[in-house]
């Protein structure tokens, strides 16, 4: 899941990039409002982690701009000023959540997952679809009750497809989600991940729509358990 | 009471004695002017013209050495009152009466003139005076005392209210006193002065609170960075990630350490009572540069000092001055590209001194340079991880020293200029 972090302290920004990466996120980090606007215009993010005191203004300004424009992006505020009135001002400006510094990285990751599933209209932390169980918190997966071993990228592709089942994701959408700016993307990387997933889940679990992209097989045509056992 | 009687008695005695002397002289001069006919057949009748209440209390005898009593006033005894050669005052007793007499020898007459009055009368007079004064006094004094007490307590009531208001105030309430304008004229200056003091205290408390909030806030971001990097180091999937996190922790600790030092410096600059002593500027700068040598080496920057030739001195607070210069030079080091040199030069212009710090950094954006006095204004740029505190310290310290701070971007690089007024 690709998120944007706006934080001007270089040590903390680096910690967020690496730490959120370890938690299964792809985090792009910018240090000012100007760069944040450019990043938001250039890529699709599942969530925004926003510091309030930035060198070229307040994070609240960016938040209001976002809410005035496209409303959807979940925003979590990070700030050292965690007086009640600061929290209220942040939430009323359109923030979805709030963490005071210093915070725990695991908690930040959990809150980001919660924001993301809420924006997908889900309440349960686990994603289940056609016999597939994904737990983004622990990054564990099971298929038809059996534990499923997935690499970080494979898990991310499967999560992206399962979050809103039935929705078609283009190859470029998946690349955007999997790779941050600082990563070289192999041209066939997504195809490779899909190939590995089909080997683990059955050939038709992920459908290819030629020239459009990929989606998960709809629930009602899910196979019986014996079918998967035979594959 | 006793004192009143004594002093009254002494006063009465003095006055009446003086009248006896006066009367004796008068009689004697009347006799010598033959205005009192001293007949040889019996004592002449003498009238002593005094105020009536007192007149018949005074008596007079004219006693000739040869003929005996030659004149007397009403009420004067016929017997000789004093020995023939006596003069001056005497207390005598005749016919059971205590008398006070005054005698002069009249040479023209060849005899004595004796004038006297009665001690009983004198005592009555003393009593009358005392009663005439004391009874009214006993009545009037408590009334007076009551009136005075009432007037003073009424006059002091505003002060009492004032004191009660102040006593009842919680220590954190630094608002102006209510209704200073309505206070009586006498205590209005006091109320005004107190209001001023309260306003100054409130401003100082406000600055303190603002500073603490600011300091706490500034500390939280590096702490968040440390906590995040520590989490990464603990859970790192590989050695490179862990090493990277540990290096970040180390950098962050250095940076946080600097920030804590600067916060303490800033608190000191803002609260310190400046104490001016004679400061030798070249020496002070050498010390500051020595302190920064380690940092400069780590950043690959060389520090060069161009001292003024004649060891100029300024009358300033050495701590404030070195804090200002240290933070400005430290900022220059932080902003300098690798391998660059920073030139610090001291020049004199008249009695004023000028310190110029020349670096090859990007310089301050003009809006920052203008806001240098505001705490925590940050310069922009990847390396500007200072919090803007250094600039605040320098600005505040120089303001306390009546120095000025200016920044200029020239063709040869960035110049920070500190002007110190003549001692």
3-state secondary structure chain B: CHHHHHHHHHHHHHHHHHHHHHHHHHHHHHHHCCCCCCCCCCCEEECCCCCHHHHCCCEEEEEECCCEEEEEECCCCCCCCCCCCCCEEEEEEECCEEEEEEEEEECCCCEEEEEEEEHHHHHHHHHHHHHHHHHHHHHHHHHHHHHHHHHHHHHHHHHHHHHHHHHHCCCCCCCCCCCHHHCCHHHHHHHHHHHHHHHHHHHHHHHHHHHHHHHHHHHHHHHHHHHHHHHHHHHCCCHHHHHHHHHHHHHHHHHHHHHHHHHHHHHHHHHCCCCCEEEEHHHHHHHHHHHHHHHHHHCCCEEEEECCCCCCEEEECHHHHHHHHHHHHHHHHHHCCCCCEEEEEEEEECCEEEEEEEECCCCCCHHHHHCCCCCCCCCCCCCCCCCCHHHHHHHHHHHHCCCEEEEEEECCEEEEEEEECCC
With CB atoms and an 8 Å threshold, state whether B220 touches A80: yes
Partners of residue B231 in chain A, C-beta under 8 Å = 15, 19, 104-106
Instruction: Tell which residue, B339, B335, B412, B415, has the closest CA to residue B378.
Output: B335
- Which residue in A102, A112, A182 has the most chain B C-beta atoms within 10 A of its own C-beta, making it the best mutation to test that interface? A102
Tracing tokens 């002069």 back to the chain, one arrives at B104
Give the best-scoring range by mean pLDDT among A11-15, A128-132, B348-352.
A11-15
Q: Is B221 on the interface with A (CB under 8 A)?
A: yes
What is the arithmetic mean of pLDDT over A11-16? Answer: 94
* A227: pLDDT strictly greater than 50: no
Q: What's the CA gap between B384 and B363, in Å, rounded?
A: 11
pLDDT of residue B43: 65
Residue A193: φ, ψ to 5°: -60, -45
Q: What's the CA gap between A163 and A160, in Å, rounded?
A: 6
Coil/strand/helix, residue A189: helix
Which of B217, B244, B255 is the closest to A81 by Cβ? B217
Q: Is B94 on the interface with A (CB under 8 A)?
A: no
With CB atoms and an 8 Å threshold, state whether A19 touches B380: no
Average pLDDT, chain B: 82
With CB atoms and an 8 Å threshold, state whether B385 touches A16: no
* A154: pLDDT strictly greater than 80: yes
Instruction: Tell which residue, B415, B399, B406, B419, has the closest CA to residue B353.
Output: B419
pLDDT of residue A8: 87
Q: What's the CA gap between B371 and B379, in Å, rounded?
A: 11
Which of B222, B226, B232 is the closest to A18 by Cβ? B232
Q: pLDDT-derived band of residue A225, with 50, 70 and 90 as boundaries?
A: very low
Q: Is A81 on the interface with B (CB under 8 A)?
A: yes
CA of B224: which chain A residue's CA is closest? A102
pLDDT of residue A222: 45
Residue A215: φ, ψ to 5°: -155, 165
The residues near A58 (Cβ < 8 Å, ≥ 6 apart) are A52
Residue B57: φ, ψ to 5°: -85, -20
A163: closest CA of chain B, how far (Å): 27
Angle between helices B389-400 and B239-271 (to 10 degrees): 20
Tracing tokens 């209440």 back to the chain, one arrives at B53
What tokens does B118 get? 């009665």
Partners of residue A16 in chain B, C-beta under 8 Å = 228
Coil/strand/helix, residue A150: coil
| Residue A68 or residue B48, greater confidence | A68
DSSP code of residue A219: G
pLDDT of residue B381: 38
pLDDT of residue B376: 47
Which of B221, B380, B384 is the closest to A101 by Cβ? B221
* DSSP element (H, E) containing A77: strand A75-79
Dihedral sign (CA B236, B241, B245, B247): positive
Least confident among A54-63, A195-204, A222-231, B369-378: A222-231
CA B215 from centre of chain: 37
Please write the tens of the pLDDT for every residue from B143-164.
999 999 999 988 888 788 878 8
pLDDT of residue B408: 86
Q: Low-confidence residues of chain B, pLDDT below 70?
A: 37-44, 47-56, 180-181, 273, 366-387, 422-423
pLDDT of residue B245: 95
Q: Is A107 on the interface with B (CB under 8 A)?
A: no
Asked whether the bond before B50 is cis by omega within 30 degrees of 0, the reply is no
Tracing tokens 């109320």 back to the chain, one arrives at B191
In chain B, residues 232-251 whose CB comes closer than 8 Å to chain A = 232, 235-237, 241, 244-245, 248, 251
Q: What's the CA gap between B210 and A198, in Å, rounded?
A: 60
* A143: pLDDT strictly greater than 70: yes
Name residue A97's beta-bridge partners: A76
Partners of residue B236 in chain A, C-beta under 8 Å = 22
Q: Is B116 on the interface with A (CB under 8 A)?
A: no
* A139: pLDDT strictly greater than 70: yes
Please write the tens of the pLDDT for every residue from A72-103.
789 999 888 767 888 888 888 889 999 988 99
Neighbours of B379 (CB within 10 A): 23
Taking CB atoms and an 8 Å cut-off, how many pairs form between chains A and B? 81
Q: Is A103 on the interface with B (CB under 8 A)?
A: yes
pLDDT of residue B382: 34
Contact B249, B230 (CB under 8 A): yes
With CB atoms and an 8 Å threshold, state whether A12 touches B222: yes
Name residue A99's beta-bridge partners: A78
Q: Any idea of the CA torsion for A136, A138, A143, A144, to the nearest 10 degrees?
A: -110
Q: Is A11 on the interface with B (CB under 8 A)?
A: yes
pLDDT of residue A210: 85
Residue B380's Cβ-side half-sphere holds a number of Cα atoms within 13 Å equal to 15
pLDDT of residue B378: 47
CA of A19: which chain B residue's CA is closest? B232
Q: What's the CA gap between B59 and B296, in Å, rounded?
A: 119
With CB atoms and an 8 Å threshold, state whether A15 touches B236: no
Neighbours of A98 (CB within 10 A): 19
CA of A7: which chain B residue's CA is closest? B221
pLDDT of residue B149: 93
Which of A10, A16, A18 is the closest to B245 by Cβ? A18
Total residue length of chain A: 231
Strands A206-209 and B59-64: unpaired
* A145: pLDDT strictly greater than 90: no
Contact A4, B218 (CB under 8 A): no
* A106: pLDDT strictly greater than 90: yes
Residue B174: φ, ψ to 5°: -115, 20
């Amino acid at each position: 899941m690709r998120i944007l972090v706006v934080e001007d302290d270089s040590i903390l920004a680096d910690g967020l990039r690496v730490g959120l990466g370890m938690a299964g996120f792809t985090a792009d980090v910018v240090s000012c409002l100007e760069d944040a606007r450019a990043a938001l215009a250039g890529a699709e993010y599942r969530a925004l982690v926003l510091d309030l005191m930035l060198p070229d203004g307040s994070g609240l300004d960016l938040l209001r701009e976002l809410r005035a424009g496209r409303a959807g992006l979940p925003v979590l505020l990070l700030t050292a000023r965690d007086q009640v009135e600061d929290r209220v001002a942040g939430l009323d400006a359109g923030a979805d959540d709030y963490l005071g510094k210093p915070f725990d990285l695991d908690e930040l990751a959990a809150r980001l997952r919660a924001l993301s599933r809420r924006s997908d209209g889900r309440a349960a932390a686990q994603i289940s679809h056609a016999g597939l169980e994904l737990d983004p918190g622990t990054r564990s997966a099971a298929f038809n009750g059996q534990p499923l071993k997935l690499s970080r990228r494979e898990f991310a592709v499967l999560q992206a497809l399962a979050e809103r089942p039935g929705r078609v994701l283009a190859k470029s959408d998946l690349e955007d989600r999997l790779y941050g700016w600082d990563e070289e993307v192999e041209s066939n990387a997504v195809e490779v991940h899909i190939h590995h997933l089909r080997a683990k889940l059955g050939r038709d679990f992920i459908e290819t729509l030629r020239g459009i992209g990929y989606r998960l097989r709809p629930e009602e045509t899910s196979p019986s358990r014996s079918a998967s056992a035979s594959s | 009471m006793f004192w009143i009687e004594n002093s009254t008695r002494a006063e009465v005695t003095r006055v009446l004695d003086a009248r006896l002397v006066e009367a004796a002289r008068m009689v004697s001069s009347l006799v010598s002017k033959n205005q009192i006919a001293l007949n040889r057949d019996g004592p002449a009748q003498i009238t002593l013209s005094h105020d009536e209440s007192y007149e018949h209390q005074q008596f007079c005898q004219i006693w000739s050495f040869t003929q005996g009593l030659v004149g007397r006033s009403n009420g004067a005894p016929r017997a000789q009152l004093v020995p023939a050669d006596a003069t001056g005052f005497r207390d005598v007793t005749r016919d059971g009466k205590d008398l006070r007499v005054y005698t002069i020898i009249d040479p023209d007459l060849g005899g004595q003139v004796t004038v006297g009055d009665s001690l009983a009368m004198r005592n009555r007079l003393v009593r009358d005076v005392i009663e005439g004064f004391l009874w009214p006094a006993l009545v009037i004094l408590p009334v007076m005392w009551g009136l005075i007490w009432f007037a003073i307590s009424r006059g002091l009531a505003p002060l009492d209210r004032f004191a009660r208001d102040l006593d009842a105030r919680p220590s954190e309430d630094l608002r102006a006193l209510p209704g200073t304008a309505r206070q009586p004229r006498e205590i209005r200056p006091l109320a005004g002065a107190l209001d001023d003091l309260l306003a100054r205290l409130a401003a100082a408390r406000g600055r303190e609170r603002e500073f603490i909030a600011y300091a706490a806030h500034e500390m939280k971001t590096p702490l968040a960075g440390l906590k995040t990097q520590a989490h990464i180091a603990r859970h790192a999937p590989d050695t490179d990630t862990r090493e990277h996190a540990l290096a970040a922790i180390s950098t962050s600790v250095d940076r946080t350490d600097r920030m804590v030092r600067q916060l303490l410096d800033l608190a000191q600059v803002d609260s310190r009572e400046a104490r001016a002593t004679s400061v030798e500027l070249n020496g002070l700068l050498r010390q500051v540069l020595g302190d920064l040598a380690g940092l400069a080496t780590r950043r690959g920057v060389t520090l060069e000092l161009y001292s003024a030739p004649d060891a100029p001195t300024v009358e300033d607070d050495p701590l404030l001055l070195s804090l200002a210069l240290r933070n400005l030079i430290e900022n220059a080091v932080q902003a300098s590209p690798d391998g660059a040199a920073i030139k610090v030069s001291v020049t004199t212009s008249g009695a004023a001194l000028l310190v110029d710090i020349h670096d090859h950094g990007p310089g301050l954006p003009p809006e920052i340079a203008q806001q240098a006095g505001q705490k925590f204004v940050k310069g922009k740029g990847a390396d500007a991880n200072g919090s803007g505190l250094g600039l605040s310290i320098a600005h505040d310290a120089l303001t306390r020293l009546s120095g000025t701070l200016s920044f200029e971007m020239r063709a040869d690089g960035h110049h920070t200029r500190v002007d110190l007024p003549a001692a």
